[in-house]
Chain A
Amino acid sequence: MANPSNRPIGKSGWGRTLGAAAVSIVYFFPVLYIILTAFKTRQDALAWPVKFIFTPTLENFVSVFYRTTVEGGAAEATGFGLYFFNSMFIGGTSVLLALIIGTAAAYGFSRFPLRGNETYLFMILTTRMMPPIIAIIPIFVLFRIFGLSGTYVGIIALYTAFNLPFSIWMVKSFFDDLDRDIEDAARMDGSSEFRLFRKICLPQVYAGLAATFVFAVILTWNEFVFALLLTGTQTRTVPVQIVRTIGGAIGVDWGLLSALETLFIIPVVLVTFALQNQLLRGVTFGTIRR
């Protein structure tokens, strides 16, 4: 530890590495426990003390998709494939929509400020200041009146609206941080205002867009209350299905529940992993001078 600042990255001492590993395990343990339980039989899942060495089984994953009802009889499809698709489709579409609309709005707020620009931005932010659940009754009534309950259009529109303020504020901060000289240079090079946006400004904030995308996906992927009240059997998302799986006549099936959750985690992990470099750049955007 003579000169820690000169130590090459990735060459920390064993003490620190083990310390970091210990902290990571504490944080990661619940996830690990869920994944382990997903591969346990019903007996193993309920065993005490907790079994860490056991014969893994895939039966829980099979019952995610096909299982018999309590009364017995042939295994039936659970519709989980559809719910999984719903979660991805509704989440992906609404986040993308919010990102597209939000980026356009953010560029406008950043480059073509209106009279009272700050007021508009503040008003947009206020929609995130109260817990969304407060608006549940009017939204529920609205959905009834316009026949949006249980439709893709309804829930996608709602999630888009919820994601917009976050997208606008986040993306605006990325546009604000760009070097204006670069735009002046492009203007002198003969770029029109649209080309300036499309060819110069937008590519510079791709990392930021990716970061915004991931954050919004995680938020939306998790959303439960509105999904519970406003989706129907055809548009149900995974969080709702997970809750419906809890309980039942023979007690909680922990293995089945864990298998559901394990599958539920995978897309978010994949998205985050695929965009991790962008994510890091996006989060540190503007803090490190190029």
Chain B
Amino acid sequence: MELTISGIAKRFGAVEALRGVTLAVQPGEFFAILGPSGAGKTTLLRIIAGIDKPDDGTVLIDRRDLSQIPVRSRNTAMVFQTFALYPHLSTFENLAYPLREARVPGDEIKRRVGEIAEMLRLTHTLARKPGTLSGGEQQRCAIGRALVRRPQLLLLDEPLTNLDAKLRHDTRAEFKRLHRELKTTTIVYATPDQLEALSMGARVGVLNHGKIVQVGTPSDLYEMPGDDFVASLVGDPPINLVPGTLRAGAGGPSIDMPFLGLDAAPWRKSLNGFPAGTRLKVGLRPQAIWPRGGSEKGPVFPARVFLTEPLGDVTILDIVVGGDTRLRMVLPQEQAYKIAVNDAIECSIDLEQVCLFTQDTGTAISRAGVEAAA
């Protein structure tokens, strides 16, 4: 099912929840909507689901206006963040409810609920009420109730938020498997967690303050964030944003950071319109900073280790550079074990992984040969 959203606006009193959202989701695509809480994810999903009406804009499903399609023939299902199971009905009746409302004959209800329960490992809970199920079982029940009608469009609203860490990990894999098995079902998945969005979404739309700020594949978002918001939302640990100033020089433009001067040659074309002295933000991924090791891909600078956070396979280092600028870097354990707090080290930056943003609007400045996806 193809989903086309254009110019959706919605306000609740003085709050503008959505401010002109435009999106196109391909048939069968796993599309993730990533945004912090309050960005408007739930409002957007509820509008796509047809529960709420937008103040402005249209939702087209297979090129038909959603508001013209009766609820019964919409073929859309939604999994709510709170699961919204029917507390007075058993698991079986919860799963059967959409079929009963669609007047499916009893035998078929039995068969289809049985299938779904089997697939989601809920068979042993069929006689029980939702209140007695574990978190994971409740969540699978909510998914089962959405899937039992074989929807063409499945909307998932932060379905993993109410689960514990281990279950969340397992369920991520489950969703990908489910999507593969369902083949034709289009999935729109809203989450505030960049890890969920990047690991599951074929494409990710980033929502901020009721607007889509960037749509792209996970690697697009990671490597070419359209602005500093996307850059700081995507990636773990979050990107370092360091203030910099543009300098014109004889050999071309350069960027002054408090601890380092950076050759701005890769951005020369895009920087043409900016006068010298323009304030910029330099985005340095923690993964792009390395201790000096002989094969540097960029400039080298001294640093002092302020804090270490060993996470097992990797260690996150907080380093202080140029007086009081703090940076984060990530090192594999085998390189990190010999570094202690307060050590003086030398680091280098992989210039190819550096992103540049304007100070005022935060818009990305694209490199030569790369068109920023925005």
Which residues of chain B are near A190, meaning CB under 8 Å? 71-72, 98, 101-102
Q: How far is the CA of A133 from the CA of B81 in the complex (A)?
A: 52
Closest residue of chain B to A180, judged by CB? B84
Which residues of chain A are near B76, meaning CB under 8 Å? 188
Binding site for A on B (CB under 8 A): 46, 49-51, 71-72, 76-78, 80-82, 84-89, 97-98, 101-102, 131, 145, 149
Which residues of chain A are near B87, meaning CB under 8 Å? 182, 204, 290
| Contact partner, A179, options B46, B49, B84, B88, Cβ 8 Å | B84
Do residues A200 and B46 form an inter-chain contact, with CB atoms below 8 A?
no
Do residues B49 and A186 form an inter-chain contact, with CB atoms below 8 A?
no
13 A-B pairs whose Cβ atoms sit less than 8 Å apart in the complex = A179-B82, A181-B82, A182-B86, A182-B87, A184-B80, A187-B71, A188-B49, A188-B77, A189-B101, A189-B145, A190-B71, A195-B101, A290-B87
Do residues A204 and B88 form an inter-chain contact, with CB atoms below 8 A?
yes
Q: Does A222 contact B (CB under 8 A)?
A: no
Q: How far is the CA of A260 from the CA of B102 in the complex (A)?
A: 56
Q: How far is the CA of A204 from the CA of B86 in the complex (A)?
A: 9
Which residues of chain A are near B49, meaning CB under 8 Å? 184, 188
Closest residue of chain B to A206, judged by CB? B88
Q: Does A173 contact B (CB under 8 A)?
A: no
Q: How far is the CA of A184 from the CA of B80 in the complex (A)?
A: 9
Measured CB to CB, the closest approach of chain A to B108, in angstroms, equals 16
Do residues B78 and A186 form an inter-chain contact, with CB atoms below 8 A?
no
Q: How far is the CA of A189 from the CA of B88 in the complex (A)?
A: 16
Q: How far is the CA of A290 from the CA of B149 in the complex (A)?
A: 27
Q: Does A70 contact B (CB under 8 A)?
A: no
Q: Does A129 contact B (CB under 8 A)?
A: no
Which residues of chain A are near B84, meaning CB under 8 Å? 179, 181-182, 184-185
| Contact partner, A185, options B50, B80, B88, B149, Cβ 8 Å | B80
Q: Which of A187, A188, A195 has the most CB of B within 10 A?
A: A188
Q: How far is the CA of A209 from the CA of B80 in the complex (A)?
A: 28
Binding site for B on A (CB under 8 A): 179, 181-182, 184-191, 195, 200, 203-204, 206, 290
Total cross-chain contacts (CB, 8 A): 53
Do residues B86 and A191 form an inter-chain contact, with CB atoms below 8 A?
no
Q: How far is the CA of A186 from the CA of B100 in the complex (A)?
A: 11
Q: How far is the CA of A44 from the CA of B107 in the complex (A)?
A: 70
Q: How far is the CA of A200 from the CA of B101 in the complex (A)?
A: 12
Q: How far is the CA of A182 from the CA of B84 in the complex (A)?
A: 5
Which residues of chain B are near A204, meaning CB under 8 Å? 87-88
- Listed from nearest, the 6 A-B pairs whose CB atoms lie closest are A181-B84, A190-B101, A189-B98, A203-B88, A185-B84, A182-B84
Given contacts A181-B82, A184-B84, A190-B102, 5 further A-B contacts (CB under 8 A): A186-B101, A188-B50, A188-B71, A189-B101, A290-B87
Q: How far is the CA of A181 from the CA of B83 in the complex (A)?
A: 8
Measured CB to CB, the closest approach of chain B to A210, in angstroms, equals 14
Closest residue of chain A to B81, judged by CB? A181
| Contact partner, B86, options A186, A187, A188, Cβ 8 Å | A186
Which residues of chain B are near A206, meaning CB under 8 Å? 88
Closest residue of chain A to B78, judged by CB? A188
Q: How far is the CA of A181 from the CA of B97 in the complex (A)?
A: 15
Q: How far is the CA of A181 from the CA of B88 in the complex (A)?
A: 15
Measured CB to CB, the closest approach of chain B to A73, in angstroms, equals 60
Closest residue of chain A to B72, judged by CB? A190
Closest residue of chain A to B89, judged by CB? A203
A189-B98, A189-B145, A190-B71 are known contacts. Are A184 and B51 too (CB-CB below 8 A)?
A: yes
Measured CB to CB, the closest approach of chain B to A234, in angstroms, equals 42
Measured CB to CB, the closest approach of chain A to B146, in angstroms, equals 9
Measured CB to CB, the closest approach of chain A to B215, in angstroms, equals 26
Which residues of chain B are near A188, meaning CB under 8 Å? 49-51, 71, 76-78
